[in-house]
Structure formats: C-alpha cells, structure tokens
Chains A and B, each alone.
Chain A
Amino acid sequence: MLGLEYTGDELKSNLRRGLLGGGVDLILNFLPGFVAGLVLGWTLMGAVLLGGVTYISSSGIVARVLAELGRLTSPETRAVLSVLVLEDMAMAVYLPLVGVLVVGGGLARIVISESVALVVVAVVLFVAKRYGKNLSRLAAHESDEIVLLTVLGTVLLVSGFAQHFQVSAAIAAFLVGIAISGPLAENHSASFRHFETSTRLHSFSFSDYKSIRLLCLECFPKRLLWVRSPL
C-alpha cells in the first residue's frame, strides 16, 4: 500500500478529499476494459476481470517514476497517491468478490467472503492506526533483511491458515500486505516499497504451494540487488 510518505492523519484528509477522484477513476478506467470484454464476446466474468486489469494502475511503477523524476513532494503527487490508495482499497472488495464468483459460489459464499475481507480490512486499518508504533516495534529491526524475513514469514503463515479455512490465500496475503505496510513502512519505507511489489505479485500464486519456493528464490535476489544498488 502506497501513500506512506505521509502521516496517518494527512493521508486520511487526503483520502476524503480524493474520494471523488477515486470514483472518476473507477468509472473511467474500469468501464473500457469491461466493455471491451463484452465486445470481444467474453463471459461476463471475463469482462469484469478485464475491467479490473484496465482499472488498476501499477503502484510499483508509479512510485518508481515519481521518485526518479523527483516528484514525491510535488503537490499533485498527493492526488496521485490518494488515487492509488483508493484503488488498493477497491481491490479489497473486488478480489474476494471475483474470487468467489470464479469458483461458482452462491450468494451466501459471496456475503461471507466479502464480510470476512471487509472486517479484516477494518480491523487491520484500525490496528495499524491505533497500535502502529507497538506493531512496528515488534516487527521492526535495524536490519532490512530481518524485516523482510518477518514479513515473508507472516505472509506464508497467514496464507497457510487462510488456505486451511478455504478462504483465498491470495486475498489473505494481500490483507497482510495492507496490515504490515502501514507500521513498518514508517521505518523501512524505501526497502519495504521495493519488495512490496514482489510480495504482492507472488501472493497470488500462494494457492499453489510449490510457488512458495519460487517466491523465496525470486524475492531474495531482488532484495540483494537492491542492497547493491541503493536508490
């Protein structure tokens, strides 16, 4: 989750004012993909997924571009970040929904899956805001590598639990990402932002346990690469 250059309160007022922009974002960028899917004669589900593909900007690339162009402190960047954060939040609703629809679940499963996701997101945001400092003391360490291992371990553990209880492990991993990025990002924003992308990318192959090994293999060389060439 992006937007962590700012304090919680700044982010909050930013989001409230950016809400309209987030709505425009959803309409302008989800609809083209959705309509394209229908025009191509796909199923409704395929069109909804293509809408998701065209909707969401890459926070990884955007953050990198803003950093390299030296625009992180520009006034318009606040608006960019609020759009990105709202997209992330929209995903917390969207992913459980398509997750259930794809496996052909009924209304009951949709309600359960959405409720679980929304409650977890609410709890996570509350805890992160309220106890962020304590949490980061728990997970933080002066060594970036140890922080990385803690995060990776947490993602694996929670995804495993989620898988056990038939909740999509991918969604669980995504929620962990939201939870830990807040408190941890305060101290390790640079390093965390870097491996957030790869964690997020791989969180969705967690349903396949073989890919955990892939995640470890791919996560660490990137991390080491970053150590060698700091921003």
Chain B
Amino acid sequence: MLPEAIALGAITAVTKILTGYFAAAYVAADRRARFRAGTALVARGEFSIVIAGIGVGFEPQLGPLSTAYVLFLAILGPILARFLS
C-alpha cells in the first residue's frame, strides 16, 4: 500500500496547502503568510489513526494504507511548514 499512500499523501498535502491559502484570505495576509497557513495544516496524525481504527475490522487495506499515509504526512507536514515558507 506504500505507493498508494505516498500518492494520496502528495495529493492531500497540496489540497491542505490550498485550503490554508484560501482560509487565510480573510485575515488579509500577504501571499507568503497565506502559504504558511497552508503548509502548517499539512500534518495528519492521531485523529486519522483513530478514524482508520474504526474500519480495520471490515476493510483490511484501510489500516496499512492509513498507517503509511499518516507516517508520511506527520513527517512531511512539519518539514514543509519549516522550509517551504
């Protein structure tokens, strides 16, 4: 499930950055600040694991995929927040 997890992680890292970029518009921040808001939101963690835990009983691929996904973004998130802004 690793390639799928990385691909999904890459896509949803971008969508989170767009989310933050859009959500920060109302604080009238400049583009860099809006970008910072986006990268700050990329990390997924404990709650995603919790949600995946609900479904491990009937969806055997959900556990492995979510584990790899969360591990990837829990690491990538803080790195992006620090260096990509």
Contact = CB atoms under 8 A, between A and B. Distances in A.
Contacts of B29: 75-76, 79
Given A75-B33, A77-B37, A53 B66 contact: yes
B36 A46 contact: no
Nearest to A102: B54
A24 B46 contact: no
Nearest to B22: A24
Main secondary structure of the interface of A (DSSP, over half): helix
A149 B11 CA distance: 41
Interface residues of A, number: 55
Nearest to B41: A57
Contacts of B36: 71, 74, 76
Interface in B44-71: 44-55, 57-59, 61-62, 65-66, 69-70
24 contacts: A24-B19, A25-B19, A25-B23, A32-B12, A36-B8, A40-B4, A49-B59, A50-B66, A53-B51, A53-B69, A62-B77, A65-B43, A65-B81, A65-B82, A71-B36, A75-B33, A76-B20, A79-B23, A80-B37, A84-B41, A98-B51, A98-B54, A102-B58, A205-B53
Interface stretch (A125-133, A178-186, A196-204): A196-204
Given A69-B81, A200-B46, A201-B46, A29 B15 contact: yes
B6 to A, nearest CB: 12
A204 B48 CA distance: 12
